[in-house]
Structure 1
Amino acid sequence: MTRAIILAAGRGSRMGELTAEQPKCFARLHGRRLLDWQLQALRGAGIERLALVRGYRGECFDEPLTYFENPRWQQSNMVRTLLAADAWLSAEACIVSYSDIFYSAATVATLSRVEADLAIAYDPHWHALWSQRFADPLADAESFRLDASGNLATIGERCQSVAEIEGQYMGLLKFTPSGWAQVRELLLQRGDEAIDRLDMTSLLRLMLQAGLPIAVSPVQGPWGEVDAADDLALYHRLFTPEALHA
């Protein structure tokens, strides 16, 4: 696998002043932007061709990448941003990354080796991290269950018990051109307004409802998602720069 796409069109308004003048992925963890950690992990996994879908403060990006645009980033959600990269998704297998996460090269490499048209990375040991991010982990965590064959069975529903959750999706996906063609067809059956409202977890649920199998790949090493400034403060305490460079 030689291609990866970072979805970086949204502002991330919950970050407050940290995104007032710059994209969310410019927030810094141990002196480096989230974007820098993502590019390091993707390149470390041997991915040579990198693209980014931009929107909010798109002029801030000057890395030598391939760029796609979501000019309607204010009126749409992440699935519209994903569709902006249709040319790459249709041409070759791609890793797709949220822009507000960090992860290891090993996680990318493991996901890329999954022999499936559609796959996502997840954290089976999610509760340890969520317990430090939230006073009540269930206030943020969503359902994540696997079926008998080890594929994704349910995702994105509210749960009453930790026992209902076998992991948490982490914002890293893999599409082959065949898998993307099925997802694209599913989306084209819906109107533009419905597509604009879709977030990625909702799309994954639609894929399951349509009978599309979604394979899963466990995270390897440190990772985190950044929804608020408090998350960055936590990750500074949890992970050393050396651990993130591994």
Structure 2
Amino acid sequence: MMKAIILSAGQGSRLLPLTADRPKCLIDFNGKTLLDWQLDALIANGLTDILVVVGFKSDAVEAHLAARDERRAMIRTLFNPFFQVADNLGSVWLARPEMDGDFLILNGDTLVSPALVEKVLRDARAPITVTVDQKAGYDSDDMKVRREGPRLVAIGKTLPLDEVNAESIGMLVFRGEGAGIFSSTVDAVMHTAEGTKSWYLKVINRIAQESYVGTVSIKGHEWGEVDFPADVVSARALTAGWANPDAETETRRTA
């Protein structure tokens, strides 16, 4: 049985004042929080052991989860006490004891549909698989990817644009030996001077220089990242279709 780890420790300071008194994961999108959309997409695909790494306003997240009255899955939290001074590698490092089998990592600001999760779980067969999408152009905030066929060659925000042919959406799958490789490399990087200032995808880039890291493309599937105020508008439009798929279908028929 695969476990899911959601990284939701951050405040989302780029969304202030919207996140002044609530973490990004509790922003409402058409009647459900960002976190609820994530949980429902995972649970719909049989992921029933879910760990949510919390930090900013952790009590609010825990209270929200308790109010779900969830009977389909076991949802637990892990508090990251240094979320304000460390990048997301710190949250991943704290969650290493949970990496005792196959697992999935999902960034706390990534909206995914159940169909997207289904495709990733079906097609991600490498020890480590990064979910990617493609588009015509990439900007400075995209987590850019260079791949050769399905193999990930490099990943990072500063990759030369002429080498980029995909972007990471913030969802990774680890199977078999991939869990141990990732966990041990995370620990090694956290023992370096730059450890607390590193993103966990920097670890993936390091692993890719020595071992095979696969990719699975979800091009054509619906997803969204919530980082900036404009993303909130886009995410509300995206989830409006998810909340009322019949209306969206009817709109397409009459367009």
TM superposition score category, shorter chain reference: 0.7 to 0.9
Q: What are the equivalent positions in structure 2 for 1:142-161 lying under 5 Å apart?
A: 142-148=143-149, 150-158=150-158, 161=161
- Determine if contact 2:185/2:203 at 8 Å carries over to the other structure: no
* TM-superposed deviation, 1:187: 3.0
* TM-superposed deviation, 1:212: 2.3
Correspondence for 1:133: none
* TM-superposed deviation, 1:103: 0.6
- Alpha-carbon separation, structure 2, partners of 1:243 and 1:195: 38
User: Deviation digits for residues 47-99 of structure 1, max 9, x if unmatched?
Assistant: 11111011111101231521112111111111110122112212x21111111
- Alpha-carbon separation, structure 2, partners of 1:142 and 1:73: 21
Task: Give the secondary structure class of the aligned counterpart of 1:77.
Answer: coil
* TM-superposed deviation, 1:240: 5.4
- Determine if contact 2:145/2:167 at 8 Å carries over to the other structure: yes
* TM-superposed deviation, 1:4: 0.7
1:73 has 2:80 as partner: no
Task: Give the secondary structure class of the aligned counterpart of 1:188.
Answer: helix
User: Deviation digits for residues 110-165 of structure 1, max 9, x if unmatched?
Assistant: 222321211111112x34xx7xxxxxx433335422124x211122153564x533
Q: Which one-letter code corresponds to 2:108 in the other structure?
A: S
* TM-superposed deviation, 1:7: 0.6
* TM-superposed deviation, 1:186: 2.0
Q: What are the equivalent positions in structure 2 for 1:48-59 lying under 5 Å apart?
A: 48-59=48-59
- Determine if contact 2:9/2:83 at 8 Å carries over to the other structure: yes
- Alpha-carbon separation, structure 2, partners of 1:240 and 1:228: 17
Q: What are the equivalent positions in structure 2 for 1:17-166 lying under 5 Å apart?
A: 17-61=17-61, 62=63, 63-64=65-66, 65-90=75-100, 92-113=101-122, 114-124=124-134, 126-127=135-136, 137-148=138-149, 150-158=150-158, 161=161, 164-166=163-165
Unpaired segments ≥5 residues, structure 1: 131-136
Task: Give the secondary structure class of the aligned counterpart of 1:18.
Answer: coil
- Determine if contact 1:78/1:198 at 8 Å carries over to the other structure: yes
* TM-superposed deviation, 1:13: 0.8
- Alpha-carbon separation, structure 2, partners of 1:39 and 1:158: 31
- Determine if contact 2:93/2:187 at 8 Å carries over to the other structure: no
Task: Count the aligned residue pairs.
Answer: 232
Correspondence for 2:233: 233
TM-score between both structures, scaled by the size of structure 2: 0.82
The answer to which of 180-189 and 224-233 deviates more is 180-189
- Alpha-carbon separation, structure 2, partners of 1:230 and 1:184: 35
User: Deviation digits for residues 199-234 of structure 1, max 9, x if unmatched?
Assistant: 12322211223x122111122621010111211112
Q: Which one-letter code corresponds to 1:187 in the other structure?
A: V
* TM-superposed deviation, 1:107: 1.9
The answer to which of 176-185 and 224-233 deviates more is 176-185
- Alpha-carbon separation, structure 2, partners of 1:2 and 1:183: 16
TM-score between both structures, scaled by the size of structure 1: 0.85
Correspondence for 2:202: 202
Identity of aligned residues (%): 25
**Cα distance, 1:245–1:37 mapped onto 2, change above 3 Å:** farther
Task: Give the secondary structure class of the aligned counterpart of 2:10.
Answer: coil
Q: Which one-letter code corresponds to 1:40 in the other structure?
A: D
Unpaired segments ≥5 residues, structure 2: 67-74, 246-255
User: Deviation digits for residues 20-42 of structure 1, max 9, x if unmatched?
Assistant: 11111111222321101101110
